[in-house]
C-alpha cells in the first residue's frame, strides 16, 4: 500500500499519518518527491481501512498494491487448486460436468435424470432441495425429502451430488447429504452463511451474485477460505443488465479473468447465464474454449412441466448432443471430458 501526502501537509499531520500506519503494526518506507511524501506501507495491510486513511488531513490518496483477496488470489498461490470429490477432480485437465434438474421434484424424476446424464458423461448430479424463489408462493423445494431422493440417486448411479444451501439454519442438514454445497446467486454475499461454510471442510461452489463484480465474487470466496475451508469453486452464472432477451447476461470474460486472478476452479452455468435452453449449448462451448474447468447445466426429463427453470432446461437427449459437441472443443483447448 502506498500513502501519498498532500502538498501542504503540516509536520503534525504527517506525524499523525505515520502514527496511524504504525498502529496497524506496519512499517513505513518513506521517500520524498518534489512536492509530496510517499509512504510505502510494509506488513499485513489487509486490516487497514483505506477510507479512514484517505480521510486524514494531510493525505492526498492511498493506493492499494495488493489485491484484497490474498487467499483466493494467485499472487501467493500460483498453482491451480484441485478439489477432490469422490473420484472426480475439479480443476484438473478433465472437465467437470454437473447436470440435473433445477429442483428435485420427485424420486422418479431425480433418478431418471441422474441415470440419463450419467449415460451422457456427466460426473456430478445437481438438484435443488431448498429453492430460493423470488415469490414466496412458488415451489420452495422438497427440503429434506429432496435430499433423501438425491442421496438415492447417488446410491444408484455413483454420481456425487451438488445441492444448494440457503441459510445457516439448514446448513448441518444439507452438509450431511451433499458432496458439494452450492451457494446461490442470491446468497453470494450472505457473509454469515459463507463464514459458517468456512468452518466446514465440504467443497462449496459459490455462484456470482446477480449484481456482483468479479472482485466481490472473489471476496465471497475469501470469506470461506479465511475460515479454513480451502475447497472453494467459483461459478459464473450471468449478471443482471439492461438486456431483456436473455434472463441474465452471461459474462464470458469473467471465466478467463477469474482463472488469471485466482487459483480456484471456475465453473460456467450457461443455464442461468442465458435462461434459454437454445443458448445453453453455444455458451457452454464458448465457456470451455475460454478456459472453464467445467459446467453446471440444468437438465429435466420434461422441461414443459418442470416446476422451476423449465425454459432453460435441456431435455436429456439435447444434453447428450451437447456432450458430443463439447468433445472437439475440449480437445482443442487441451481438456478432456
Q: Name the residues that contact ligand PEP, by CB under 6 A.
A: 102, 128, 132, 184-186, 207, 237, 272
What are the residues binding Mn ion (CB under 5 A)? 102, 309
Partner touching 133 among Mn ion, ligand PEP, none, CB below 5 to 8 Å by kind: none
Q: Closer to ligand PEP at the Cβ: 45 or 125?
A: 125
Convert 183-222 to b/e letters by CB count within 10 Å (16 or more is b).
bbbebbbbeebbebbbebebbbbbbbbbebebeebbbbbb
Q: Distance (Å, rounded) from C-alpha 213 to C-alpha 225?
A: 19
Nearest CA among 19, 25, 75, 71 for reference residue 48: 25
Binding site partner of 118, from ligand PEP, Mn ion, none, Cβ cut-off 5-8 A by kind: none
Contact 217, 188 (CB under 8 A): yes
| Closer by beta carbon to Mn ion, 182 or else 212 | 182
CA dist 117 and 177 (Å) reads 20
CB 133 to ligand PEP: min, Å:
8
Please state at what angle helix 254-261 crosses helix 214-226, rounded to 10 degrees: 40
Tell the smallest beta-carbon distance from residue 126 to Mn ion (Å): 9
Per partner kind, with CB cut-offs from 5 to 8 A, the member of Mn ion, ligand PEP, none near residue 71 is none
Residue whose CB is less far from Mn ion, 261 or 296: 296
Q: Which residue is nearest to Mn ion (CB)?
A: 102
Q: Please choose which of ligand PEP, Mn ion, none residue 335 contacts, taking the beta carbon within 5 to 8 angstroms, the exact cut-off set by kind.
A: none
Nearer to ligand PEP, 3 or 255 (CB): 255
**Contact partner, 68, from ligand PEP, Mn ion, none, Cβ < 5-8 Å per class:** none
Pairing, β 180-183 against β 266-268: unpaired
Residue nearest to ligand PEP as judged by C-beta position:
184
Q: How far is it, in rounded angstroms, from Cα 166 to Cα 164?
A: 6
User: Are 315 and 322 spatial neighbours (Cβ–Cβ below 8 Å)?
Assistant: no
Q: State the residue for C-alpha cell 450431511.
A: 176
Shortest approach of ligand PEP to residue 184 CB, angstroms? Answer: 3
Q: What is the DSSP string of 17-38?
A: HHHHHHHTT-EEEEEE-SS-EE
Q: How far is the CB of 207 from ligand PEP (least distance, A)?
A: 4
Tell me how far, at minimum, the Cβ of 163 lies from ligand PEP, in Å. Answer: 9
Query: Would you say 71 or 299 has its CB closer to Mn ion?
Result: 299
- Which CB sits closer to Mn ion, 141 or 198? 141
Amino acid at each position: 500500500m502506498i500513502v501519498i501526502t498532500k502538498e501542504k501537509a503540516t509536520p503534525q499531520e504527517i506525524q499523525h499519518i505515520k502514527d496511524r500506519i504504525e498502529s496497524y503494526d506496519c512499517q513505513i518506507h518513506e521517500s520524498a518527491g518534489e512536492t509530496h511524501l510517499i509512504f510505502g506501507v510494509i506488513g499485513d495491510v489487509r486490516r487497514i481501512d483505506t477510507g479512514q486513511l484517505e480521510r486524514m488531513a494531510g493525505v492526498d490518496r492511498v493506493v492499494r498494491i495488493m489485491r484484497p483477496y490474498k487467499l483466493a488470489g494467485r499472487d501467493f498461490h500460483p498453482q491451480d487448486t484441485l478439489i477432490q470429490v469422490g473420484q472426480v477432480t475439479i480443476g484438473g485437465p478433465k472437465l467437470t460436468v454437473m447436470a440435473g434438474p433445477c429442483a428435485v421434484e420427485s424420486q422418479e424424476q431425480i433418478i431418471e435424470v441422474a441415470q440419463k446424464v450419467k449415460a451422457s458423461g456427466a460426473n456430478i448430479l445437481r438438484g435443488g432441495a431448498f429453492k430460493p424463489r423470488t415469490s414466496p408462493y412458488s415451489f420452495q423445494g422438497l427440503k429434506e425429502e429432496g435430499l433423501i431422493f438425491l442421496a438415492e440417486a447417488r446410491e444408484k448411479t455413483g454420481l456425487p451430488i451438488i445441492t444448494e444451501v440457503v441459510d445457516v439454519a439448514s446448513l448441518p442438514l444439507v452438509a450431511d447429504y451433499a458432496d458439494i454445497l452450492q451457494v446461490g446467486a442470491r446468497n453470494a454475499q450472505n457473509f454469515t452463511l459463507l463464514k459458517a461454510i468456512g468452518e466446514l471442510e465440504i467443497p462449496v461452489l459459490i455462484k456470482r451474485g446477480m449484481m456482483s463484480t468479479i472482485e466481490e465474487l472473489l471476496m465471497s470466496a475469501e470469506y470461506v477460505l479465511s475460515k479454513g475451508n480451502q475447497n472453494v469453486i467459483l461459478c459464473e452464472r450471468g449478471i443482471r443488465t439492461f438486456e431483456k432477451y436473455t434472463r441474465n447476461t452471461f459474462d464470458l470474460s469473467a471465466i478467463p479473468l477469474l482463472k488469471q486472478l485466482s487459483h480456484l476452479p471456475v465453473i460456467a452455468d450457461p443455464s442461468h447465464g442465458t435462461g434459454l435452453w437454445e443458448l445453453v449449448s453455444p455458451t457452454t462451448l464458448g465457456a470451455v474454449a475460454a478456459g472453464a474447468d467445467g459446467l453446471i447445466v440444468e437438465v429435466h426429463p420434461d422441461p414443459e412441466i418442470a416446476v422451476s427453470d423449465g425454459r432453460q432446461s435441456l431435455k436429456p437427449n439435447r444434453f447428450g448432443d451437447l456432450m458430443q459437441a463439447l468433445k472437439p472443443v475440449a480437445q482443442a483447448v487441451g481438456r478432456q471430458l
